[in-house]
Structure 1
């Protein structure tokens, strides 16, 4: 296995773990709070997640997976690029932006939809890890 493939697979696995933790712990924990407190906490997390370590992993793996696609490992590379990065930019980030602009009434819809799409991102990252590890 090439070093870029190994790093891309590991990075996809780390992202799968991040999304998994949000799906099984963070979001259910926030669901137990009032809309006001849950929304405030999620807004804070949305700010804090934008740090150099996370962004290097999240965006850096787009570059690595792009290399994987050009080297013929289409499935694993595209699973991450589309399933994690594109979905985040097209679905989750706009929802996060709306959460910033709206009141607490949006929280129940946000919680349901954001978590659903987070599950999809997690599965895509896990699938990317497996397929890259298999050289696909």
Structure 2
């Protein structure tokens, strides 16, 4: 395992998640910024796969690990964005989707399991980064370093 490749990919993902959680954005920019944040796992996975080199399975493993670490940071950032007083930034749409999409929950359930609902809602965002990281790392260039060039 190439720890540097994993740390660079995870660092890119975690940095994007922290930036999305901490920066206040104007109302018209929040949804496009949210889309960029949701696609951010591709960045970390690509970096991890590109730096790891080697066969595609090795790159996928590095991208998956980077995505898991970056996804954990994104899940924490999303969960933190549900707290009162958090900046209305790129993660505000996640809060909006939970608030408007959870209308089917009985009021007693929402009141009783408030923190748990926020945590469970944040987990899919972290899983998304792991899947994106594996996919992007597998697609990143970086075949066998000692493989001979193929000529037509």
Q: TM-score, normalised by structure 1?
A: 0.38
Q: Based on CA coordinates, which of the two structures has the bigger radius of gyration? A: 2
- Asked which structure has the greater RCO (Cα within 8 Å, sep 6+), the reply is 1
Looking at secondary structure, tell me which structure has more helix per residue. 1
